[in-house]
Chain A
Amino acid sequence: EAQVTQNPRYLITVTGKKLTVTCSQNMNHEYMSWYRQDPGLGLRQIYYSMNVEVTDKGDVPEGYKVSRKEKRNFPLILESPSPNQTSLYFCASSFVGGGRAGEQYFGPGTRLTVT
């Protein structure tokens, strides 16, 4: 089954404790992206990657890191989480060519709470 998986689905942590949210897709997509979703603010892009070893900042990259060492994986790293990073996070992927970059497949989301 074609899908984007994220782990963990729910995470409660404390300020300053490094964490990683994993994202994996099995559709051979070049493009992968991380979004955060907050009430009243919609979906905001954190980082994206057009292909292996190519990453770029989105609209709200501060406090986050990413890496793209393999095509299928795109982990989101919070080196020192803070309470303002409490949010619902989504990973998404898509093809780049053939005008299909907008047809993104989203993971199920990760609910992160930082206390």
Chain B
Amino acid sequence: GESVGLHLPTLSVQEGDNSIINCAYSNSASDYFIWYKQESGKGPQFIIDIRSNMDKRQGQRVTVLLNKTVKHLSLQIAATQPGDSAVYFCAEMAGNTPLVFGKGTRLSVIA
């Protein structure tokens, strides 16, 4: 597959455990945040989003937490599965300005 990042932060978790992927954002004007998942050889895929008027949002097996005070975003994946192995990107948007992506975190699931 395509190499999307040779020196990414890496998180290794045991299958069945919960994963927490963190992201620090820099623009205090950002009001919309998104998590994307990129599997090897594929384009990024939208997972979940959250607006700045919320501090938590849940999806299917995923939860996003937003702490505006410290400009921190996290993605929690419950009961991590081998299919969750991928690179995860956080992205931020301020108003109608273009999306800005973080560098990504590689999640490896150990069976």
Contact = CB atoms under 8 A, between A and B. Distances in A.
Interface of A: 4, 33, 35, 37, 39-45, 48, 58, 88, 90, 92, 99, 101-109, 111
Contact of A102 (B41, B45, B99, B102): B99
If over half of B's interface residues share one DSSP class (helix, strand or loop), that class is named, otherwise mixed; here it is loop
Contact of A39 (B4, B99, B100): B4
Contacts of B98: 33, 45, 48, 58
Interface size class of B (residues with CB under 8 A): 20 to 34
B34 interface: yes
A4 B5 CA distance: 23
A24 to B, nearest CB: 14
A88 B41 CA distance: 10
Contacts of A58: 98
Contact of B103 (A42, A109, A111): A42
Contacts of A106: 43-45
Given A88-B4, A99-B32, A99-B51, A104 B99 contact: yes
B44 A43 contact: yes
17 contacts: A40-B8, A40-B103, A42-B5, A42-B103, A42-B104, A43-B44, A43-B89, A92-B43, A101-B32, A101-B93, A102-B93, A102-B99, A103-B34, A104-B99, A108-B43, A109-B41, A109-B42
Contacts of A102: 32-34, 46, 49, 91, 93, 99
Contacts of B93: 101-102
Contacts of A103: 34, 46, 49
A44 B5 CA distance: 13
Contacts of A41: 103
